[in-house]
């Protein structure tokens, strides 16, 4: 196992690297918060990098929404696409030449190779493996092509990918240390020769991630546990380049109440949704700080941040703390590996505590920034103007547009194997509900961001 970056004299640098493929995800904020706290507690740097090489799923407005949502929560960064910094550019789409140069280094030292198979040939291989009940993976057929054959294929202009050559022989495994789990080992028989550069000349996530982390001097990679299975590929890349390996911290995934991975089917996952639905940023960042158990229990000489009203049969007031409180007391080593539950009931309780602590002026301002904003009212007004005879009727026709529908429907909490209830019949076409104007609704659950 290659030595990791020094823990004593190396300035701490961490990063988050969301993809602009949809609305910013609560998971991005959760991982962003832990990175932010880790850096601030150690006088380090918190870097925002945009991983936008997936052009098929790219959403033009998503990058700015990521900026807006993280700043809404108070998670400010030190370097990024909008701020610049000493190790930019901070968008992967602006770094493609850097990746190509590094692929050439791997080809030159023999730790990578060109693979000239066509998509049809790779699909045929996959189908043969499935038929043989083998796990689909690349079989390394082009690992040892002769230089003469490689030159011939290149002269023909045949497209190719570049793959990492997973070491053969002893040791037949790659291991790394996870700071929360200890040493993790992966047998090379379970790690295939990953694609580093696609046939269109764009890097894969694995190559760009490792090259960027190294060139940006990232000392600690703090990310979700779903990336554990990719880490041996990253470690092999660090070794292929001859680079020091950063420390890895893999955080437990946010979970639904049924312990499944949080998803838009069972919970709203967009930060934009929560902002527009009237959740306060202080409550949301407080709630995310509760995930995983990084905050210690209060001591006799520490008092929780206001508000601190305890509700019977509700979470304790000791669950309420601010972002500065977290900087002072949060300890990433206290994170529990059991998946933290994204409990909307608790989030709403927390939000209510913060709302009740607002002054009347700030409460009114919060309403005007969200559900009573000019932008929202301007969407609604034309829909009811032709249906009312007095302005007082406005509320009668629009109340459903201001209803609180943040909670998921009850059926999502029913165990998967439980008998399903028959849906209620639809109201007849002449029912009162069918006469309500069709108009803007509160933001729907959008596609999740990486």
Residues acting as catalytic residues: 264
Least Cα distance to 16 among 72, 90, 93 occurs for 90
> Quick one: 203 exposed, middle or buried, by C-beta within 10 A (0-12, 13-18, 19+)?
buried
Q: Is 346 helix (H, G, I), strand (E, B) or coil?
A: helix
Alpha-carbon distances, residue 250 vs 32, 208, 424 (angstroms) = 13, 19, 44
Among the listed residues 196, 166, 231, the one whose alpha carbon sits nearest the alpha carbon of residue 104:
196
Beta bridge partners of 50: 91
DSSP for 21-33 reads SSSPBHHHHHHHH
Count of C-beta atoms within a 10 Å radius of residue 425:
6
Asked whether the CA dihedral 371, 263, 213, 295 is positive or negative, the reply is: positive
Q: How far apart are CA 293 and CA 338, in angstroms?
A: 10
Contacts for 426 with CB less than 8 Å, ≥ 6 apart: none
* Pairing label, strands 112-115, 45-48: unpaired
Q: Quick check: 103 and 112 in contact, CB under 8 A? A: yes
């Amino acid at each position: 196992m290659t030595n990791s970056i020094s823990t004593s004299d190396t300035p701490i640098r961490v990063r988050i690297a969301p993809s602009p493929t949809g609305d910013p995800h609560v998971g991005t904020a959760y991982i962003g918060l832990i990175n932010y706290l880790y850096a601030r507690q150690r006088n380090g740097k918190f870097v925002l990098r945009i991983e936008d090489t997936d052009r098929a799923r790219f959403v033009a407005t998503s990058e700015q929404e990521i900026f807006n949502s993280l700043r809404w929560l108070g998670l400010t960064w030190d370097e990024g696409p909008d701020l610049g910094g000493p190790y930019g550019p901070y968008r992967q789409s602006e770094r493609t030449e850097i990746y190509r140069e590094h692929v050439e280094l791997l080809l030159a030292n023999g730790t990578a190779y060109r693979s000239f198979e066509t998509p049809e040939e790779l699909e045929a291989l996959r189908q043969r493996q499935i038929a043989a009940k083998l796990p689909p993976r690349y079989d390394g057929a082009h690992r040892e092509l002769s230089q003469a054959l490689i030159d011939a294929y290149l002269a023909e202009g045949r497209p190719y990918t570049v793959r990492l050559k997973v070491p053969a022989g002893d040791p037949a495994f790659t291991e790394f240390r996870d700071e929360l789990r200890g040493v993790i080992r992966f047998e090379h028989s379970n790690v295939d020769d990953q694609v580093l550069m696609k046939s269109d000349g764009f890097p894969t996530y694995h190559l760009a991630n490792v090259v960027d982390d190294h060139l940006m001097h990232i000392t600690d990679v703090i990310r979700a546990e779903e990336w554990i299975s990719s880490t041996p590929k990253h470690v092999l890349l660090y070794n292929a380049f001859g680079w020091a390996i950063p420390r890895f911290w893999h955080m437990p995934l946010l979970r639904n109440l049924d312990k499944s991975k949080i998803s838009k089917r069972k919970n709203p996952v967009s930060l934009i949704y929560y902002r527009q639905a009237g959740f306060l940023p202080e409550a949301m960042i407080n709630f995310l700080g509760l995930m995983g158990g990084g905050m210690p229990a209060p001591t006799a000489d520490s008092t929780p941040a206001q508000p601190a009203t305890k509700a019977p049969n509700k979470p304790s007031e000791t669950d309420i703390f601010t972002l500065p409180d977290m900087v002072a007391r949060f300890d990433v080593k206290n994170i529990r590996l059991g998946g933290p539950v994204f409990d909307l009931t608790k989030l709403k309780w927390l939000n209510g505590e913060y709302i009740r602590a607002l002054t009347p002026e700030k409460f009114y301002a919060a309403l005007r920034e969200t559900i009573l904003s000019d932008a929202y009212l301007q969407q609604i007004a034309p829909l009811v103007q032709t249906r009312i005879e007095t302005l007082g009727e406005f509320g009668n026709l629009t109340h459903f547009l201001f209803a609180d529908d943040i909670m998921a429907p009850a059926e999502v909490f029913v165990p998967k194997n439980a008998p399903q209830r028959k849906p209620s019949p639809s109201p007849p076409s002449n029912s009162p509900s069918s006469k309500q104007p069709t108009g803007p609704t509160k933001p729907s659950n959008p596609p999740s961001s990486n």
